[in-house]
Structures are given as structure tokens and as C-alpha cells.
């Protein structure tokens, strides 16, 4: 039952993430296909690719196939987690620049950001090595009761919260003050997604207490959070493509 919930939710995420990323890369209008990767807006496409990859390699069939190639047992999980963390970092940079948040930028990019990502990746790797995981298990679910795996999961959640935390304040501000209603909605969606993600990190002791059976329920929170963020980003892309700001925020003098 839990496995089916996981596969269904991961598949839905893949359809959403993969679909929007594919659309972004192959769209005939801006951004211009794969060339978008070379521009600042390419950060989003890159984020989509990384996040989709993280979800794809976590699918049981693909996971088992990759395990045959990867030298370390459950090394695929390490790849998925590094992809996901890098995607979060890209998202963080993207939004920090857009919302002009110096604090968030200071945390995510530069030496501090690189060190944080490096430590998180190293931590995930060390805890994977330290754990006893002989059989392939996506997200290390089969070994969720091992302390090393618990720390492994927590590192990913903590890194995500580290990136998203400083962005909450500018997002909240924009979700209330953006002159465009659609913009407020988009910021609100991203804010909800971030809040859910940070909420899961803070509730991690509760997740540990609930035991491995509750893992999928908490994992659903992450999926909902990702969906909210992706939909929020899509809403901004929609607003840009349709020039909603120009259409809705009229500076015409006519009162006809």
C-alpha cells in the first residue's frame, strides 16, 4: 500500500516536473530551448532537470538498474540526494536574485554557500557509508530505523531548510504586496511550499518517533511542497509569457 502511494506520488511529481521542464526546454518562444541553460533564467531549467533526475532515479525499477552500475551499495540514493540539494541551491539563488534578498544570497552563494553544500553532500555520503545497506532501497526506506540513515535524511532536510529559510521573509512580503494579483498567488504558492518543507525539517523528531511506516506520509509533505513551488514558478512563467503585468496594471489615463 505504502509502496503504491510512493510510486503514484512520485509519478505525479515526474509528470509535473518533467512536463514543465520539458516545456521550458522545448518551447518555441522564450526561453529558446536548451540555450536557456546558458542564461540566468536557465537556472530554473537546470533546477527542473536536477529535480526530475532525483525523482527519476528514485523510481524502484530505475533505482535497481542503476544499483548494478554504481560501485557503492545504494550509491544511487546519494546521487538522487545530491541532485535534489543542488536543485534546491539553484532555486534559492534564482529566488534570492529575483526578490533582491542580500541575506539569502549571502547564505546560498559564495564561499558560505559552497561550504554548506559541500558539508551536506559529504555528510550524506559519510552517513551512507556508515549505514549497513546491503540491498537496494530507494530513499533508504528499508533501513530507516538505522541512526546513520536517520541522520542522512535529516541532513538533506536541514540543507533544504537552510536554503529556503532566508527566503521566507521576502516571499511573505511579496505574497502580500505584489501589485499583480497573479503574482501574489504565485508567491503565496512558493511560500506555502517552502513553509511545508521547513515544517517537515522541524517536525523530523516527530517523524522519527512515528517510525519507518510513517515515512511515506511525511514524504508526501515533501511532494506537496515541491508541487506548490513548481506551480508557483509556473505561475510566474505564465504571467511573463502572457504579459499579465502590462495588461492588468494599467497606466493609461483613459477613464472610458
Partner 1 sequence: MAVSGSDFKQWLERRGITTSASELGRLTGLHRVTVGNQIRRGNVPESTVVGVARGVGIDPIAALADFKEYQDLDSRPRSPTAAEVLSQVHHADLMVELQHRFHEDLFPRNDKVKIDFPHDGSHRAWIDAIDTGDVRHDVAEKTGTAITYLFTQLSENKLTPIQAVTAARVSGTSMVAGLVVVGLITMEEGDWPEDVRETALMVMKNEDLVELIQQRLNLLQRRLRQRKEALEYAEKLTDLIG
The Cα-based distances of 47 to 42, 53, 144 in angstroms read 8, 10, 27
**CA-based nearest residue to 199, from 235, 228, 175:** 228
Which range of residues in 61-69, 79-87, 211-219, 229-237 is near partner 1 by CB under 8 A?
229-237
Q: Does 180 bind partner 1 (CB under 8 A)?
A: yes
Q: Running DSSP on this structure, what letter comes out for residue 132? A: -
| Residue 101 DSSP SS3 | coil
Which range of residues in 12-20, 58-66, 68-76, 176-184 is near partner 1 by CB under 8 A?
176-184
Interface pick for partner 1 out of 37, 185, 224, 245 (rule CB under 8 A): 245
Within residues 74-103, the interface with partner 1 by CB under 8 A covers 94-95, 97-99
Q: Which is nearer to partner 1, 61 or 179 (CB)?
A: 179
Q: Does 238 bind partner 1 (CB under 8 A)?
A: yes
> What is the Cα Rg of the chain in Å?
19
| Distance, CA of 2 to CA of 9 (rounded, Å) | 11
Interface pick for partner 1 out of 163, 183, 227, 229 (rule CB under 8 A): 183
| Distance, CA of 174 to CA of 185 (rounded, Å) | 10
Residues that bind partner 1 (CB under 8 A): 94-95, 97-99, 174, 178-180, 183, 186, 233, 236-241, 244-246, 249-251, 253, 255
Amino acid at each position: 500500500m505504502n509502496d503504491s502511494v510512493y510510486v503514484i506520488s512520485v509519478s505525479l511529481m515526474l509528470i509535473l516536473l518533467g512536463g514543465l521542464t520539458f516545456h521550458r526546454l522545448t518551447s518555441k518562444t522564450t526561453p529558446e530551448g536548451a540555450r536557456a541553460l546558458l542564461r540566468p533564467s536557465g537556472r530554473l531549467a537546470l533546477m527542473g532537470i536536477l529535480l526530475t533526475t532525483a525523482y527519476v532515479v528514485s523510481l524502484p525499477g530505475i533505482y535497481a538498474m542503476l544499483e548494478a552500475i554504481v560501485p557503492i551499495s545504494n550509491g544511487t540514493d546519494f546521487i538522487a540526494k545530491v541532485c535534489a540539494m543542488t536543485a534546491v541551491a539553484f532555486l534559492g539563488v534564482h529566488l534570492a536574485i529575483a526578490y533582491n534578498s542580500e541575506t539569502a544570497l549571502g547564505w546560498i552563494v559564495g564561499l558560505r554557500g559552497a561550504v554548506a553544500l559541500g558539508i551536506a553532500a559529504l555528510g550524506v555520503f559519510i552517513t551512507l557509508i556508515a549505514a549497513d545497506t546491503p540491498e537496494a532501497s530507494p530513499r533508504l526506506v528499508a533501513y530507516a530505523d538505522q541512526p546513520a540513515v536517520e541522520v542522512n535524511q535529516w541532513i538533506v532536510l536541514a540543507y533544504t531548510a537552510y536554503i529556503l529559510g532566508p527566503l521566507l521573509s521576502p516571499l511573505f512580503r511579496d505574497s502580500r504586496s505584489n501589485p499583480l494579483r497573479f503574482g501574489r498567488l504565485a508567491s503565496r504558492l512558493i511560500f506555502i511550499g517552502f513553509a511545508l518543507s521547513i515544517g517537515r525539517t522541524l517536525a523530523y523528531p516527530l517523524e522519527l518517533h512515528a517510525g519507518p511506516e510513517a515515512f511515506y506520509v511525511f514524504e508526501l509533505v515533501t511532494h506537496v511542497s515541491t508541487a506548490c513551488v513548481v506551480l508557483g514558478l509556473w505561475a510566474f512563467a505564465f504571467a511573463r509569457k502572457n504579459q499579465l503585468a502590462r495588461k492588468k496594471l494599467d497606466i493609461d489615463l483613459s477613464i472610458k
